[in-house]
Structure 1
Amino acid sequence: MPLPRHPLPGRALSRRALLSTAGAAGLLALAAPPALARPRSRPGTPTANAIRLIPLQGAVNVRDLGGHGTYDGRRVRYGLVHRGDHLGKLTDADVAVLGGLGLGRVIDFRIPLEVRYDGADRLPSGVLGVSRPVTDNGLYGQLLAAIGSRDPVRQEQMLGGGRAAAFMTEVYRTFVTSAANREQLGTTLRELAAPGAAPVLYHCTSGKDRTGWESWLLLTLLGVPERAATDDYLASNTFRAAYDARVREGLKQSGMMQDPDLIVPLQEVRQEYLDTALAEVRAGYGGLFRYVTEGLGLDLRTLAALRERLVG
C-alpha cells in the first residue's frame, strides 16, 4: 500500500494447488523444465544472495530483479528488469545512477492522486516514463483522510481492530478481479517479453504491493521456485524498515497520530496479502495458468519469449 511521504507520508498456496489441471502441462513446460520433482538449482540458496539493491538517496526499494535461480538450474538475467518504489524524490546523484542502468522506459503503476502527492518521476534524459495506473481500491485517499484528521478516535475507527490489514487484502483481490488492473499488469509482462527491448523499471509508491505482485508473477513464470519468489516479495519489509519507522516517528512527533503503529499493516507486505491474491486466482480462474493466459492475456508464445529473454 502506498504511504504518504515523510513526515506524512501464513503460508503461500502451493504451486500445485494454483495450477489448473488443463493448463498445468503447458505452463510447467515453460516455467520449470524438465521437472519440478528434481530441480537442478539449489532451492535452499538464500534469496538475499540474489537480490541486488540499487542504493539511492531518494528511494529505498529499487532493485534488480535478476539473479534468482530457476528450477532447471539457470538464473534470471541481471540488468533487464528492475522493480522499485516511487522516483519523485530522487537526487541528481540518484538520477545519474539510474542513467547507468541503460533503461529504456520506466512504468509507473501509481494512480494520479499518488503522483500529485509525491511528484512525478525524476528520470534520466532519454528514458521514457509510462503512466500505467493500477488502482489501490481507494485506500490511498482513505489513508490521507485518516492521518489528515489528526483525530485518534477516527484513526482507530478506520485503521484499528484489523481494519488496516483487511483493507490491504481487498486491494490484493483487485489485482485479480479488476479488468483494468489485469490489463495494466498483463501489458507490462507482454512488453518485457519483447525481443531486444531495453531494460525496464516498473514501480508503484512503496514498491511492495502492486510492484510486489507483478514481480512475484514474473519470477514464477520464469521458473523461479515459489519460495524464492515469495522471499523476494517479502524482502520489501527489510529494505523499507528503517524508512517506514522514521515515517511513523514523524507522524507521532508532528502530532498527526497518537498511535502511528496503526499504519504498520499498510507499510508491510505480508504472506496473508499474497495468499489472498493467490486464493482469488484459484477462485476466479481455477489456477495460475488460466489467470495468466485468460486474465492477463499472455499466450504460450509470450510465456516462452519471457523465459527466452530473461533467463540465462
Structure 2
Amino acid sequence: MKKVLFFFLVIPFTLQAQLADSTIRVVKMEGAVNFRDVGNYKTLDNKTIVNGKIFRAASIAGLTDKDMQKMEELKVRTVIDFRGTNEAAAAPDKLLPDTDYTLCPAGSDNLPTPEKIADMIKSNDFLMDMYNEKSIQYYGKRYKPLFQKLLTVPDNESLLFHCTGGRDRTGMATALLLYVLNVPMPVIEEDFTASNVYLESANKQMYKPLAEMSGSTVAEIENKMKLRPQHIRQFFSTIKSHYGSVENFLEKECGVGPEDITRLRERYSN
C-alpha cells in the first residue's frame, strides 16, 4: 500500500488521471511494451475516442505466439512502422498474415548511433532536436501514410503504429492524431509523457550502456531522456511557425483537408 501511495505522490496530478484508467488503455503483451489503445479520451465537443480501432506501441519484433493471438483478437491488419530502413530490417515486425504494412523511414535513417547519443547526452536538451526546426522536414513524409490509412482502413479492422521505443516518433504521431480528433491539449501532453512510466523498466536496461559510454549515472541518463510537455509543445510550435497552423500542415503535407478531418472524427469518435 505504501508503494502505491508513493507512486501516486511522485507523479503529477494531471498524469495520475491519465494513468488511472490504464487498465482500459494499456494492452498487456509478453513481447512488447508501451502498447496502448489510443481510444477512450474525451474530446472538446464531449465525444469519446472509440476503443479498439487505433493502437500505438514500441517495437513489435518480439511478439510471442500468445501476443499474436491477441493481435488477432484486436484485428490489427494495418501496421505503420516509423523506424528507419536498417532499423526495421534488424528487427522485423511480427505481423498477422495479409497485414497491410507500411514503412515510413523519413528522418529515421539518419538517427545517431548509441555512441553518438552518449556524446550528445552531455548537452542540455539534445532530445529537443527531434521536435524542433531540425526535424520539421520529415514530419509530412513520416506521418502522411498514417492519416491516409486511417481514412481507408476497413471498418472491421484496426490499425497499429509504432517505432522502436514507442515514445518519440510514435508519441508525435499520437499527439497529432489526438489533435485531429479534437482532444484537449493538456490531455495530449499527459498521454505523451505517460511513456515515461510505461517504459520505465525497459528504459533502465537500455540506459545502462549509455551511462557507461557517457560517464554518467543511469539516473542522469533517465533525466536527460525524460519526455516533457515542452517537447510536444515544441513539436506543435514548430509546425505552426512553418505552416501557420496545424491544419495547414495536415492539408499540405499529409493530404488531410477539412473534410478529411471531419471524416476522421466521425469514424473514430462518438
TM-score, with structure 1 as normaliser: 0.73
Stretch moving more, 49-58 or 295-304: 49-58
Alignment of 1:1-312 (within 5 A): 46-51=17-22, 52-117=25-90, 119-136=91-108, 138-139=110-111, 142-146=112-116, 155=118, 157-162=119-124, 165-166=125-126, 168-173=127-132, 177-178=136-137, 180-194=138-152, 196-197=154-155, 198-249=157-208, 258-259=215-216, 261=218, 263-264=221-222, 267-312=225-270
Unmatched tracts of structure 2, length 5 or more: 1-13
Q: Which segment is superposed worse, 169-178 or 43-52?
A: 43-52
- By how many angstroms is 1:247 displaced? 2.5
Contact 2:107–2:142, Cα closer than 8 Å, also in 1: no
Q: Distance in 2 between matches of 1:186 and 1:216?
A: 14
**Is 1:55–1:62's contact at 8 Å kept on the other side of the alignment?**
yes
| Counterpart secondary structure, 1:138 | coil
- Residues 63-122 of structure 1: CA distance to partner in whole angstroms, max 9, x if unpaired? 1101001112210000110011111112222222112111121111100132244x1001
In structure 2, the CA distance between the partners of 1:134 and 1:236, relative to structure 1 (3 Å rule), is: farther
Offset of residue 288 of structure 1 = 1.9
Rate the CA distance shift 1:50–1:72 in 2: closer, same or farther, 3 A. farther
Rate the CA distance shift 1:195–1:251 in 2: closer, same or farther, 3 A: closer
Percentage of pairs with the same residue: 24
Name the CA shift for 1:250/1:58 in 2 (closer, same or farther; >3 Å).
farther
Q: How many angstroms apart in 2 are the aligned matches of 1:281 and 1:90? A: 35
TM-score when normalising by structure 2: 0.83
Aligned pair in 2 of structure 1 residues 44, 87: CA closer, same or farther (>3 Å)? closer
Counterpart of 2:113 in 1: which secondary structure?
helix
Deviates more, 1:301-310 or 1:180-189: 180-189
Change (3 A) 1:205 1:270: same
1-structure distance, mates of 2:236, 2:257: 20
- TM-fit CA distance, 1:60: 1.0
Give the whole-Å Cα distance in 1 for the aligned partners of 2:170 and 2:19: 18
Gaps of 5+ in 1: 1-42, 148-154
RMSD: 2.6
Aligned-partner residue type, residue 235 of structure 1: A
Contact preservation (8 Å) 2:18, 2:190: yes
Q: Secondary structure at the match of 2:102?
A: strand
Do the aligned partners of 2:106 and 2:141 also contact (CA within 8 Å) in 1? no
Q: Which amino acid aligns with 2:18?
A: T
Task: Give distance in 2, aligned partners of 1:273 and 1:108.
Answer: 21
Q: Return the offset for 1:143.
A: 3.2
Q: Distance in 1 between matches of 2:57 and 2:225?
A: 15
Q: Deviations over 1:14-66 (max 9, x none)?
A: xxxxxxxxxxxxxxxxxxxxxxxxxxxxx999233454111112211111101
Aligned residues: 253
Following the alignment from structure 1 to structure 2, what is the Cα–Cα distance between the partners of residues 131 and 270?
27
